[in-house]
A and B are shown apart, each in its own frame.
Chain A
Amino acid sequence: MRAYQDFREFLAVLEQQKQLLRITDPVKLEPDMAAASAAATRLGNRSPALLFNNVAGYQNAQIVTNVHGSWANHALVLGMDPDSGIRDQFLEFVRRYRMYPGQLERVTSAPWQEVMIDKDINLFEILPLFRWNQGDGGFFIDKPCVISRDPDDWNNDDVENVGCYRLQVKDKNHLGIQTVPQHDIALQLAHAEARGEDLPVAIALGNEPIILLMAATPMLYTQLEYKMAAVMQGQPYRVVQNAKGLDIPYGSEYVLEGRILSRKRQPEGPFGEFPGYYSGCHQYPVIEIDRVLHRKDPIYESVYVGRPWTELDYLQALTTSAPIFDQVNSTFPEVLAVNALYTHGLVLIVQTKVRYGGFAKAVGLRVLSTPHGLGYAKVIIVVNEDVDPFDLNQVMWAISVRVNPAGDILMLPNLAENLLDPACQPSGIVTKMIIDATTPIPPDRRGDYGEILGTPVGTDTWLQKLEALTKELQR
C-alpha cells in the first residue's frame, strides 16, 4: 500500500521497475499512437507503459498510454509486488474496499495551476489529441476523471462523483460526453436538467493512478471515490477545491473546467468501444469549457480501447469484481469471490457455497440487481467453492459436468443493459442468463453425483518444490 503524489511520481516508479518504455523515435499521431498502444496490450503480464516524446507537429508534446496495461502495473498502482497474481490483487483490493471511508485532505494549491487559460480556449492546441480507431467520429479524451456534484444535494461530499466517461472533442471548447443512464453523473445531470440548469464539471487528465481506478469503480451513489482512494492508498486523498466547489485531484497534469449544457444533445461517436465494436452515433450531452489549467510541460494520458484484452480491461477488472463481490457478499456471506474480468463484466463468474437447492440461482439474481449488474452483467456463471472463478479451466469443467441445461439455465427477458452492448434489442434492453454450474443439492435432486476425485497425497508439497525449482531454472 502506498500513495503516489502525482502522475509523474508514478511514471518514475514504473521506470525504476522497468515498466515504462520511452519511445523517442518520431511518431505520427495517426496511426502510430493506436498501433503502438494496441501492440503493447499483446505483450502479456509485464507489458509496460509507453511514453512518446517525439510527436509529429509538436516541439515537446508528451503522451503516455498503457499506464494500467498489465497486472504488474496494476499491482504497482496498489503498491503491491509487481509479481502479485490476480487472485491476490483481488483479495487485497476487497480488503481495502471494505475499510471505506478514508479521508479527504483539502489543500489550497496544486502544480496544475501553473498555467491558466481562460480566453480563446482551443483544446486542439492545448492537448495532443488524436484518433484511436479509424471509424471513430473524432478525437476522444478517454481517460479523464470527470468530477461533478448533485444539484439537489450540493454540499454533500458523499454524493460528489468522480467518473471516467469518454469525451469527444467537438470543437475548440466543446466536448461530447457519454453518460449512459446507469452512470452516477446521468442522475446528477437529470437533476440539473429538471431545474433547467447547467451542471458544472471539472475534468482532470493525467492523474496519479489510484483515482482513475476509483473513477472506473461502480461504487454506491453515496460513496465518494476520493474517500475510497484514501483507503486504497493508505493515506488521506489530497484534492484542491475550485470556485464551483468541485474537488480536483492534487496530482493531475491538466484540469478542464466547464458545464454540461442543460437540455442540449448533439451527435456523438462512433467510438471503438470496450465490447470490441463501434458504439454507433447517438445524441449525447455537450460540455462547454470555460477554463483550462495545466502543469508546465504537461503530460497527456490516454487509453487504447479496442477488442479485448486491452489496457481498459485491466482498468475495469478488479474495480468491477470487487464492488459486486462486496455488495453480493453483504447479502449472501456464502459468496466467496466474483470474477468480472471479461468485457467489463458482461460475463461474470461467482464462486459461492450453496446452502440448499436453488440457492445459486438466487445468488445470480442478486448480482443482476447490483448497481453494476443493472447495466452490464448479462451472463452469470455460478460455481461451487471448489472451483476457482479466476481459473477458466476449472470454470469450464464446472459448466461441462454440473450443468444440465434443462434445469440450470435461467433466461430473464427485457432487462436494462448498457447501450454499448451490441447484443441489445432494442438498444439498452437485453435478455440476461444465469448458468447454475453448481452441483444440485437437496431438495434439488438432479443428476447422479457420486464420489468426486480428490488430489493425490503430497501434491501441495510437490507443487511448492517444483515452483522453486522452475524459478531457479528460469533465472
Chain B
Amino acid sequence: MSATTQVTAVPVCPRCRSTTTEVRGVSPVAGVWTVYGCDTCFYTWRSTEPEENTNPDKYPAVFRLEPQNLPKLEIAPTIPPLPAKKT
C-alpha cells in the first residue's frame, strides 16, 4: 500500500472542479485512506485511488462534468403533475 499524506484542506472535485467537497469518511484503521465527496455533482473518491480518479488534471475528459450542465441531464423517471387527483 502506498503511503498517503492526510490532507487537511479538502480538495477540489476531480470531476466538476467545484469546491463544494467534504470528507465523507475515513478508514476505521486510522490513516489508511480518506473518502471525499462533491455536493455539486456527487462524485466520490478515495485518497488511495489512481490519479485518474483523484486529480482534476488527470481525470479523463470523457467523464468530466460542468456544474452548469447538470440541470440539463435527462430526468428519469419523469415527475408527474402534482394536482393530486382524487384519492
Contacts and interface: CB of A to CB of B under 8 A. Distances in A.
Interface bracket on A: 35 or more
B28 A57 contact: yes
A139 B44 contact: yes
A265 B74 CA distance: 10
Residue from B37, B42, B43, B87 whose CB has the most chain A CB atoms within 10 Å = B42
A167 to B, nearest CB: 12
Contacts of B37: 138, 170-171
Residue from B43, B52, B62 whose CB has the most chain A CB atoms within 10 Å = B43
A24 interface: no
Contacts of B77: 179-181, 186, 189-190, 285
Nearest to A428: B76
Contacts of A285: 77
A282 B76 CA distance: 7
Interface string B22-53: 10110111001101010101111110111011
A229 B49 CA distance: 40
A198 to B, nearest CB: 13
Given A138-B37, A194-B85, A267 B73 contact: yes
Given A56-B1, A267-B42, A194 B70 contact: no
B46 A267 contact: no
Interface string A55-80: 01111000000000000000000000
A131 B81 CA distance: 36
Given A171-B37, A268-B42, A282-B76, A134 B52 contact: yes
Given A172-B24, A281-B73, A283-B75, A57 B84 contact: no
A196 B81 CA distance: 9
B76 A137 contact: no
Nearest to B16: A267
A130 to B, nearest CB: 8
A300 B70 CA distance: 32
A124 B35 contact: yes
A419 B42 CA distance: 21
Nearest to B49: A30
Contact of A263 (B24, B62, B76, B79): B79
A425 interface: no
B44 A28 contact: no
Nearest to B35: A124
Interface string B51-87: 0110000001011010000110111111111101101
B29 A59 contact: yes
Contacts of A29: 46
Given A131-B49, A138-B42, A267-B42, A283 B74 contact: yes
Interface of B: 1, 15, 22, 24-25, 27-29, 32-33, 35, 37, 39, 41-46, 48-50, 52-53, 60, 62-63, 65, 70-71, 73-82, 84-85, 87
10 contacts: A30-B50, A56-B29, A56-B33, A58-B28, A122-B25, A124-B35, A138-B44, A171-B22, A266-B42, A281-B73
3 tightest A-B CB contacts, nearest first: A57-B27, A124-B25, A138-B44
